[in-house]
Structure 1
Amino acid sequence: MKNNDPIPGFNPDAGAPILVAEAAEWTANYRKEALTEAEAAGRKRINAYYFGNKLLDEIKNQEGCVGLRFYMGLKKSKADLTEADESQILVVGVDKNGHDIVPRLGANGEAMYDDGIVGDMTSKCPSVCDPGSTLN
């Protein structure tokens, strides 16, 4: 597969609404899970991430963007251990072939998506949560 070839199985229209009751059950299941070894050692468990429309619109409005992909990441603690490791979520635009819109080389070695955006800097729950939500 070349860098520009469609990714097998990619569906640019993936995703669909689900019932709020099912979503509430899933988020409750997550919150009830035993802490991971890393969380027991001090890593904060994140229940939700918030992105504002300004950033999401900027990513969605990139040329060729058909949707968004969210990556899980891990910000490692500083060497002096003043901060615990912290889970992160990153967002990028995706083109019609399923490729992330991030700087990359095309099939012929040409530069593509030089201005591709990777979004982070979310608000996290906890501590910025909606106490009235059935998902919290």
Structure 2
Amino acid sequence: MNNPNDAPKPNPRNTISLKTAKKWAKEWRDDEASYNKYFECRAFNIPKKDLIEVLQEEGVAGVRGYIGVEKLKVEGENVFIEKLMIVGVDKNGKDMLKLSSEDADVLDSEGGDIYDFTEPCPSACDDDSPLNGGPN
């Protein structure tokens, strides 16, 4: 059995600010009605190590995933990257959010982080999975 002390600690490299998360989530909510007519996001790959990081935060009883879209300009064209943002949830079912210099509107400065380490499918897909349209 693995030693609990060997578990990865939360890594700020995999986190984003609340301001960015709110922007991505709003982009998804604003565009969701027509978004899936044009884009094929079906799933997200979540690396085990990164999920463990979220669970290692002090006071985390569970996790919650929020869907968002990062909108970028590449060579003058809009490019959309689907995001699954993961936050720790405390024993009362409340999101654990941490104040950063970019976030002036967060109430809980002792909370957790917002993680953005997932990869959308496509392109991080299992083409053979029946959940992704592969063989049964």
Provide TM-score, normalisation by structure 2.
0.58
Match of 1:133 in 2: 129
Measured after TM superposition, the shift of residue 133 of structure 1 is 1.3
Of 98, 112, 128, the residue aligned with 2:110 is: 112
Match of 1:72 in 2: 67
Judge conservation of contact 1:92–1:117 (CA < 8 Å) in 2. Answer: yes
Of 101, 114, 117, the residue aligned with 1:121 is: 117
Task: State the secondary structure of the residue aligned to 1:99.
Answer: coil
Task: State the secondary structure of the residue aligned to 2:77.
Answer: coil
Question: Which has the higher mean CA deviation after the structures are superposed, 118-127 or 78-87?
Answer: 78-87
Q: CA 1:87/1:128 → structure 2, altered by over 3 Å: closer, same or farther?
A: closer
Q: CA 1:38/1:124 → structure 2, altered by over 3 Å: closer, same or farther?
A: closer
- Give the number of the structure whose alpha-carbon radius of gyration is greater: 1
Large movers: runs of 4+ above 6 Å:
none
Q: CA 1:38/1:135 → structure 2, altered by over 3 Å: closer, same or farther?
A: closer
Task: State the secondary structure of the residue aligned to 1:91.
Answer: strand
1:44 aligns with 2:24: no
AA partner of residue 105 (structure 1): L
Give distance in 2, aligned partners of 1:94 and 1:131.
32
After TM superposition, list the pairs within 5 Å mapping 1:1-136 onto structure 2. Answer: 37-39=34-36, 44-78=39-73, 81-103=76-98, 104-106=106-108, 111-113=109-111, 116-136=112-132
Task: State the secondary structure of the residue aligned to 2:82.
Answer: strand
Give distance in 2, aligned partners of 1:124 and 1:79.
18
1:57-82 Cα offsets, whole Å, 9 max, x none, are 11011111011100011212338633
Give distance in 1, aligned partners of 2:82 and 2:124.
15
Bigger fraction of residues in helix: 2
Measured after TM superposition, the shift of residue 130 of structure 1 is 1.1
Give distance in 1, aligned partners of 2:88 and 2:45.
17
Give distance in 2, aligned partners of 1:90 and 1:44.
18
Identity %: 34
Which structure 2 residue ranges, 5 or more long, are not aligned?
1-32, 99-105
